[in-house]
Amino acid sequence: MGEDILIWDHPVGVGSKGSILLVHGTAPMDIDGNIPKCDSRYPLGCMSLYKRLSKVLNSGGWSTLRYTRSGVNHESINWNEYMKVDHNVIIEQLNRLFKKMPCEKPRIIFCWSGGSLHIPHLPLEEAQGVVILGGLCTNRIHNALLMTKDKNRWNKFREEVEEFESMTYEEILKVNKPRGDGPLIRFWQEIKLNDNWTYFRKHVELPILILHGSDDTEVHLIQAHLWKQLLPYHNITVVEKPGGNHFLGNDNKTGAEIVGREILKWLDEIGFTLL
């Protein structure tokens, strides 16, 4: 798939306290955090969220590592390339990127939304902190069921998912096609994962920040509050933003500045103030 496309952003005029890897969500985003040719009805895809977030984190003394996936650029998505970006390809890329982060200073992993399903498969024992914004504690299917409006829709969706999940790898390959944010096969792979929280069980001391907007319409708020219930002895901080959307903004406005401030505050609290 070629060499990774990435950008390092650094603090200006001061030494870096450490580095933060900005992991993408499910959607095909460019290096700034935009979805190419995004429909204006989905404002979050048009706000350069990761570029904005990076600036806030840089202002607090942290370096950031941004990237894009194969087949995605500022202008368009090459679906012939992006169709190859399944779950395994994403994990391989993230592991390569993590290795580029200087190990002599703290390494923090940030993820948004569906990216929360990818970061547990990085070497978390080598990271000094994890930030999960609008992410999943359980799994894609449980979250989708929580978002249904009534019992009939719940049952109908459950039946559809069970049929999809029962397909073999060969059957999926025959019908693999773009499904909104990515290749169908990626979603098939990810619904077969264990509940997300289970991958964190052994990382009891790892500082974890959970950020979630109360008005998130894509990932249910319950997901945020399950973390401390399921991992009661872990070093987890949960911050719920009243009125916040999927990126903690309000009224379809970017919440990058809010997210950045919460991350910097948390990093100070866990002891990275004077690094």
CATH of the domain at 63: 3.40.50.1820
Whether residue 236 lies inside any domain: the answer is yes
* pLDDT tens digits along 60-71: 999 999 999 999
* pLDDT tens digits along 29-48: 999 999 998 888 888 999 99
Whether residue 17 lies inside any domain: the answer is yes
- Distance between CA 192 and CA 161 in Å, rounded? 11
Whether residue 153 lies inside any domain: the answer is no
Q: Which residues contact 141 (CB under 8 A, 6 or more apart)?
A: 161, 191
Whether residue 49 lies inside any domain: the answer is yes
Burial class of residue 183 in the structure, from the number of CB atoms within 10 Å of its CB (0-12 exposed, 13-18 middle, 19+ buried): buried
pLDDT at 179: 65
The pTM of this model reads 0.95
* pLDDT tens digits along 76-135: 999 999 999 999 999 999 999 999 999 999 999 999 999 999 999 999 999 999 999 999
Average pLDDT in the chain: 94
Check pLDDT > 60 for residue 202.
Answer: yes
Query: Do strands 63-68 and 107-112 pair parallel, antiparallel, or not at all (unpaired)?
Result: unpaired
Tokens read off for 106: 């703290």
Whether residue 174 lies inside any domain: the answer is no
Total length of the chain: 275
- Distance between CA 240 and CA 108 in Å, rounded? 20
- Distance between CA 121 and CA 115 in Å, rounded? 11
- Given a contact cutoff of 8 angstroms between Cβ atoms, the answer to whether 42 and 85 are in contact is no
Tokens read off for 181: 């944010």
Through-space distance between the first and last CA atoms of the chain, rounded to whole angstroms = 37
Q: Is 8 left (phi over 0), alpha (psi -120 to 50) or beta?
A: beta
C-alpha 60 chain-centroid distance: 21
Tokens read off for 193: 């994962």
Helix (H) / strand (E) containing 58: helix 49-59
* pLDDT tens digits along 133-186: 999 999 999 999 999 989 999 999 999 989 999 999 999 988 888 766 789 999
Q: What are φ and ψ of residue 139, in 5° steps? A: -160, 170
Q: What are φ and ψ of residue 30, in 5° steps? A: -80, -175
Whether residue 160 lies inside any domain: the answer is no
Q: Is 229 helix (H, G, I), strand (E, B) or coil?
A: helix
Look at the chain and report how many structural domains it folds into.
1
Whether residue 169 lies inside any domain: the answer is no
Closest CA to 236 of 191, 269, 259: 269
Whether residue 77 lies inside any domain: the answer is yes
Other C-beta atoms within 10 Å of 114: how many?
25
Q: By residue range, what is the domain housing residue 221?
A: 5-137+193-272
Tokens read off for 94: 């993230």
